[in-house]
Amino acid sequence: MKFAKLRKHIESKRGNGSYFFGPIIFFKDTLYDFAINELSRFIFYVHNSFLFRKNYDLVFVIARYKEDVNWVKKLSYKYVVYNKGGDNIPGDIKHKKLQNVGREAHTYLTYIVDNYNALPKYVGFLQGEPFLHSVLLGARLNKFKGQDFYPLGRNAQYYRGETDIYIDIIEKSTFKYFDIKRPAGEFPWGAQFIVSREKILKHSLKEYEFLLNKLVEAENNRTQCYIFKQHPQPCACMNYISAWMLEVWWPIIFGEDKKIINFD
């Protein structure tokens, strides 16, 4: 059984009270995630200390809640941290305060809307703790060669299995807003990627404002997320527009062909 399938199988057993899967899930949630995160952070520091770095007009947008973002000082490019947490950030880290709604998608869309007419040539989008979703982040950054859409980690896949109801919402919502019956199965895991200004400007400012407003509205329509046990209860993941939905949509929005966003 491939690791991804094994991970999904373990997740499907979450909350069943099993004496066998309970310790495994604890290990995955705590020890495994910690080990992978710290290893990835170390690899990132090594790559950014010793490898050749290319000169691009690139700004990174960091979506932070309460994560330690001291690692951004090692980035070879300009960055801005959008802080949604209540704690303070060191004064030498450039950041902006943002309301705590809509997860990373709200942060990304806020940056695009606020900077639509003054975007750099490339924009990179990262989580406040990016390493679990992108173990080889440093290597990925060093291999960037000016692609219009460049995932900064492995591609994830949505599939039909334990989450059929969620997949139904993805497909219905994708058809509603993009006239696409079924989105591509792959998307950047954790919504971490670099996109060119050219691709961003394929859509109008009004389209991004529409998505941003819908994302905020969704916060007022939270439901019990009984599918993803690790999500807060209640959460917005089952709404027609949510951060989890946009995680699947980024390749559609910034795809090779312009996809019209349908207003409702």
What tens digit of pLDDT does each residue of 83-128 get? 998 777 877 888 899 998 899 999 999 999 999 999 999 999 999 9
Whether 264 is covered by a domain: the verdict is no
Whether 260 is covered by a domain: the verdict is no
Whether 261 is covered by a domain: the verdict is no
pLDDT more than 70, % of the chain: 74
Whether 242 is covered by a domain: the verdict is yes
pLDDT band of 197, cuts 50, 70, 90: very high
Whether 258 is covered by a domain: the verdict is no
pLDDT band of 1, cuts 50, 70, 90: very low
pLDDT at residue 105 in the model? 96
Distances (CA, A) of 80 to 22, 63, 167, 225, 253: 39, 9, 33, 32, 22
- Supply the range of the domain harboring residue 224: 3-253
Which pTM value belongs to this model? 0.82
pLDDT higher than 60, residue 30: no
Whether 200 is covered by a domain: the verdict is yes
Which position has the token pair 């910034």?
254
User: Structurally, how many domains does the chain consist of?
Assistant: 1
Q: What whole-number distance in Å separates Cα of residue 71 and Cα of residue 107?
A: 19
pLDDT at residue 106 in the model? 96
Cβ burial of 55 (10 Å; 0-12, 13-18, 19+) is exposed
**One-letter amino acid for residue 120 of the chain:** P
